[in-house]
Chains A and B, each alone.
Chain A
């Protein structure tokens, strides 16, 4: 996609970015503004169906996501950007479902008519992630020029979580060779932060399961999985784990605290959204990108690195 097409896109923040992921919302908007990009929020958007509705009735979840796509299309956009992995995954899933499952398309049409709005037809809007947006709309060279190596000396492990790449078949644009994202070894966040000067460490658990959906129902499993992600990041030399999903981010932070309390295992690696790091690389203060809203306090590290 031409980067110019992405300078102004529809923005679907999703529920988490209005709650636990508020700092991600804030930092995404601030970074966009600083880079001359415009986000136009989807009017009257609704929940994408998250995990819960998908569990109860997958066709209703497809409808809920499709409604957001229909509104974005009605607003005149052909691209909707979603920073949350769960929302991004669900909008992509709806797109795939409507194109391949006649029953899903029929249910979507029926509910859309009943709700009194246009039925979304697949192919009308392309859903992209915040990583695609920044990388493609701005480009690594421009990021490099703007950030002037501000993240130099900061060792980062990039954690993408699972829903950014799985299941593969709902992401037809990935795995298309050089320049495209890889589902096996995603690298867009690495590329963006490297352009801002960060030193990405060789991190083998980029897409490993954190037990996210089981964070509450089976906390011990989640805590052990997260603890292994944290200790592995530290063993790889990372000072920071960069995240690009509010669920991953909250899970890592929450279970970092729980691992210390329940398992007696303290880890020191800090967890920051990639947009927070990028914002500070662009000269913003830590508070402007919402670092004070994070659970772990990275202020000492940020001061040592001359950030924020």
Chain B
């Protein structure tokens, strides 16, 4: 199976393998997360919005992406974790080692988002019967 976001995954892997990070790398990874969610919305025929939730478009896009698709909540914490690591990296801007640690964690979480959404773009049922407990949301259910 080919990866759905090959360029992005390659860029993240290169960073995780030791490639240096530019000054805007954390912001770039936030943008990657948005790009992943935009692809999900586009695949569903929706126009990705520009709103923000708690100051982050990523969180708003996730909220938009899970409307009517409760299994998409499987990546809710993943998106929040990306934002958290982004903030943590900013917090440690004077501690290079800890900042790099937070950037690495952010990269791994963005990668997970890309893998999960990539998986759902191939098989939309991913996550339907575990996280989402889809039957609870079907017509006639509570």
Residues of A within 8 A of B (CB): 51, 54-55, 58, 61, 86, 89, 93, 96-97, 99-101, 103-104, 162-163, 166-167, 170, 184-185, 202, 204-209, 211-214, 217-218, 220-221, 224-225, 228-229, 231-232, 235-236
Contacts and interface: CB of A to CB of B under 8 A. Distances in A.
A213 B127 contact: yes
A211 B136 contact: no
B141 A204 contact: no
B27 to A, nearest CB: 18
Contact of A214 (B75, B109, B115, B123): B123
Contacts of B111: 228
B8 interface: no
B112 A225 contact: yes
A167 B119 contact: no
Contacts of A89: 130, 133
B41 interface: no
Contact of B138 (A58, A86, A167): A58
Interface string B103-116: 01100110110011
A82 to B, nearest CB: 15
Contact of A162 (B115, B125, B130): B130
Contacts of A221: 1, 115, 118-119, 122-123, 126
A231 B9 CA distance: 14
Contacts of A58: 135-136, 138, 141
A51 B118 CA distance: 22
Contacts of A232: 105, 108-109, 112
Contacts of B127: 162, 209, 213
Contacts of A214: 119, 123, 125-126
Going nearest first, the 7 A-B pairs with the smallest beta carbon separation are A58-B135, A100-B142, A101-B142, A221-B119, A162-B131, A232-B108, A166-B131
B108 A228 contact: yes
Contacts of A61: 135
B142 A218 contact: no
A116 B122 CA distance: 45
A103 B138 CA distance: 13
Contacts of A212: 130
A135 to B, nearest CB: 21
B130 A218 contact: no
Given A99-B142, A162-B131, 20 more contacts: A54-B133, A58-B135, A97-B142, A163-B130, A166-B74, A166-B132, A167-B136, A170-B136, A184-B77, A204-B105, A208-B112, A208-B116, A211-B119, A213-B129, A217-B123, A221-B118, A221-B126, A224-B3, A232-B108, A235-B105
